[in-house]
Structure 1
Amino acid sequence: MTDQRKLRSVGPESQPIEAGPDQLAHDLSELARDLHHADDPDDVLREVVQAAIDLVPGTQDGSVTELVGRRRFEHKAASGSLPARVDTVMSELQEGPCLDAVLQRRIIRVDDMRSDERWPRFAPRAAELGALSMLAFPMVVKDDSLCALNLYAETADAFTDESEHVGRLLAAHAAVAYSGAQREENLLAAIETRDLIGQAVGLLMERYSITSDRSFTTLVRFSRQSNRKLRDVAAELIRDAEAGCSK
């Protein structure tokens, strides 16, 4: 992410931008532009975590927790060893503020992990690792919970109401950007799959002098019989054909 958010002037004659709501709006606008140019969903998450460290008061580290297939949690974009270790414990125990933020779709704040009783197994281990304060924001688009933005600090009472306010705005921007990047990635994958299947159908038509419909049906039948994705079957057929031509 560009470091221009941290700059308060552009040239010798520029006036610094006042701190406060106007500055936050400026920073979030720059973030939105940065995220718009990030093509890879994982790049978006890394940008978001860095922005949270820069903008949300009290934040020392961050990560993102994603619910995959509504069954499995994945932790991504950890900014350092602290969130990586804490997220590993959260996955192991299947409890913690980040998971609750995703499942309950609400902000979860921990002022002092040493005295928090909401997660009897997770809290003592997180405190031992050094995460005394945590703040987790759901990243939601159209009522579909995608992820949680997780913020960490090694001191107790690190986060304030202002931290929640800034983090909530940032998470809203992040959710839209991440969802858009995922849709674009899925669209590109779909186009690539369509092209692969089209090439495989063409190979079968030429090899066996059959129609396109029958070629496609043959691919689908083999995909089902081998319990493999149609894309993978098509890709293997193309590789085999190319290998044969190179001999």
Structure 2
Amino acid sequence: MSLFRKKAADASSMPPPSLPLLALELRAPWEFGAVIAAWPALKRAPLGDGHSVIVFPGLTAGDATTAPLRRYLEFLNYRPLGWGQGLNLGPREGVLDNAKRQLQAACDASGNKVSLVGWSLGGIYARELAKDMPGLVRCVVTLGTPFAGPHTSTNAWRIYQFASGRSIERETENYNLPEAPPVPTTSIYSRTDGVVAWRGSIQAPADHNPHTENIEVVASHFGIGLNPSAWWAVADRLGQATGPDAGWQPFRRPKVPGLHLVYPDPYR
């Protein structure tokens, strides 16, 4: 099969979310509102060890959108950092180099590895940084990030091309996006995502890195970074021990009352 036909087949087998799902993105503000009701449970997440966490925003978004998550992580004793590059309009000239410098500076300042959290397109940055500089990265957590499907499996690829001024097809050819970074890597996704086809956020098992996993939550794409079940999952993953002999464990639905049932059964 030619490369062109293979791409066409991949695209047809992973269509973007339907219009009804896209319309359900309007529920995003209510997801953030649910944090108030879930706060007693969220406070019971394991405390962090004080290491730095860089949080990357999604397409056309900035650090203001990740501020609530970063404040939660600060409450849990982490040192969260925004990406500090204004609106995320794609990997324009200098963007990835600036992200690498920030990662290096954060490691130098703390003397420890840094965790990377990315929302949507921000998760692509987190994954690729971890591939380029794995010795500086503790773990990677992505939220609704489309790394495993064709660009046509999202409802945002035209917005990406308009905002970045780049061809998304040519951009993706420069990277092996489905490949997992060589560090503990978690993809948090939702089957009710109205922007990204959920199968495009599924990390396939990686022989070179057994510490990869997928966590399903019930969330919108615009709300997944503000969703209490996603927050708990992020906190749980950041609190995992890392290293070859650290005893890393995959995510288990919490036994905290009110939280156990919000995670769909991964074996259903």
TM over 0.5: no
Higher helix share: 1
TM-score with structure 1 setting the length: 0.27
TM-score, reference length from structure 2: 0.25
Q: In terms of Rg, which structure is larger?
A: 1
The higher-RCO structure (CA 8 Å, 6+ apart) is 2
